[in-house]
Amino acid sequence: MTRRNKAEEAFRSGNFAKALSKYQAAADKMQSLGPSFAAPDMLVDKMPGLPLDEPLAGIALIHLSRIVSSYLGLAAYEEVNEHANRPLDKILRGITVTKVDWVDFARPYYQVIYYCKALALEKLGRLDEAIRSAEGALKCDPDDGCVLSTLKALRKAQEVEKSKRDHASAKDVRRRQNKKRKALAKKARGIGFITGVALL
């Protein structure tokens, strides 16, 4: 069984720590080989007629989506965000992919990366960024019910958070106003006392 197959087996069984280790090792090996890496037949079959570097890009993207998913499974939310933000061209050492076939192949993997990032950012309390990531996932598949419901929940949570902030802000304003009124009243009482003494 190849390293990638072992990684897939661990990932599907929920052993994210093992899957992460295997995927990272496979990704590192592939990157070290660069364009000389021989793409597996199964990936070439998925993208017939594409040059060798584009199947290479496909494998890198698959690895990245699985690595990000594994970090999410381990509740390592900062790592999810860090890896999801890594530009693919750095992973591919400058390989460029532009063909429509590539876009069709890549879309579901990009959706996984965006979606995992959205969930991680939500856990980190960064709702605005989470919503942008969920919107990115939705662009990959506008009919995905799971992404749609997540985006709806994130927007609702954002509204609740904004309402709490507005309430806290209004409460703080009232607190400052009350403090100022009390200070003025105290000052007025002091002036009244001094004036009364002067009149005696």
Give the angle 168-131-100 at the CA atoms, nearest 5°: 165
Answer yes or no: are the C-beta atoms of 135 and 121 closer than 8 Å.
no
The first and second tokens of residue 173, run together, are 């304003």
Distance, in Å, from the CA atom of 101 to the CA atom of 124, rounded to the nearest integer, reads: 35
Tens digits of residue pLDDT in 50-104: 444 555 667 777 888 888 999 999 999 999 988 888 755 444 444 444 555 566 7
- Look up the pTM and report it: 0.68
8 Å CB contact between 162 and 131: no
Domain count within the chain: 1
Q: Taking all residues of the chain, what is their mean pLDDT, rounded to a whole number? A: 75
Q: Give the domain range for residue 145.
A: 3-161
CATH number at residue 21: 1.25.40.10
Average pLDDT over residues 131-153: 93
Q: What is the mean pLDDT of residues 35-52?
A: 43
* Cα 24 to Cα 47: distance, rounded to the nearest angstrom: 24
Backbone angles phi, psi at 47, to 5 degrees: -125, 70
Q: How confident is the model at residue 122 (pLDDT cuts 50, 70, 90)?
A: very high
Residue 49: inside a domain: yes
